[in-house]
């Protein structure tokens, strides 16, 4: 299960209410629509999205399909969210563009330093106007300042 898709599915208030209801009892589409006061078509669409991320499954009973939460999948989602709280913080004041792979600081995440300083409060103006002392404080060695354009060897 991809975490972001599961969280997107749960971010809708109706889908979240559906999961809440289905945690207490398994229901058919008609009963869910009655409890949530929305149409059966809307319930079906919400259930489809919850099924796609693996949080809900249906069991055929006679003419109707009754839906229930896959508690194992929901538990995995809760555990993944809990694990996020245990990630170590990135080193204080370290610009994301200059991350050393040895620091293991979640380099796959998008960093803020797209020609912008992560600590703009330390800048007096545009990145080009940084003093060498500011650059060193924010980014380390001035020669590796990520906000300045790279100089080419051609004239």
Domain boundary among 32, 51, 81: 81
Query: Is 155 domain-assigned?
Result: no
**Which of 116-148 are b and which e, b meaning 16 or more Cβ less than 10 Å from the residue's Cβ?**
ebbbeeebeeebeebeeebbeebbeeeeebbbe
More confident residue, 105 or 11: 11
**Half-sphere exposure at residue 126, Cβ-oriented, CA atoms within 13 angstroms:** 4
Res 83: pLDDT: 87
Q: Are residues 70 and 116 in the same domain?
A: no
Res 100: pLDDT: 52
Transcribe 65-86 into DSSP letters. EEEEE-HHHHHHHHHHHHHHTT
Split into its structural domains, the chain has a count of: 2
More confident residue, 89 or 91: 89
More confident residue, 83 or 43: 43
**Res 124 pLDDT > 70:** no
Q: SS3 for 63?
A: coil
Res 104: pLDDT: 52
Nearest Cα neighbor of 8 from 67, 52, 40 is: 52
Tell me the mean pLDDT in the region 54-81. Answer: 92
Tell me the mean pLDDT in the region 118-145. Answer: 61
More confident residue, 53 or 1: 53
**CATH number of the domain that 70 lies in?**
1.10.10.10
Q: Distance between the two ends of the chain, CA-based, in angstroms? A: 53
The CA-atom distances, in angstroms, between 141 and each of 41, 63, 98, 125 are 60, 71, 10, 19
Q: Are residues 14 and 71 in the same domain?
A: yes
């Amino acid at each position: 299960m991809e975490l972001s898709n599961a969280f997107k599915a749960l971010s809708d208030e109706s889908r979240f209410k559906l999961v809440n209801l289905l945690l207490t009892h398994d229901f058919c589409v008609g009963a869910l629509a009655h409890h949530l006061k929305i149409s059966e078509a809307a319930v079906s669409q919400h259930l489809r999205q919850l099924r796609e991320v693996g949080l809900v499954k249906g069991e055929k009973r006679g003419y109707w399909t009754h839906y229930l939460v896959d508690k194992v999948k929901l538990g995995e989602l809760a555990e993944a969210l809990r694990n996020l709280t245990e990630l170590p913080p990135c080193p204080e004041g370290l610009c994301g563009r200059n991350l050393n792979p040895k620091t293991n600081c979640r380099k796959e995440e998008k960093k803020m330093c797209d020609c912008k300083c992560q600590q703009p409060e330390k800048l007096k103006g545009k990145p080009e106007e940084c003093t060498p002392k500011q650059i060193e404080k924010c980014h380390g060695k001035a020669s590796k300042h990520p906000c300045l354009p790279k100089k080419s060897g051609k004239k």
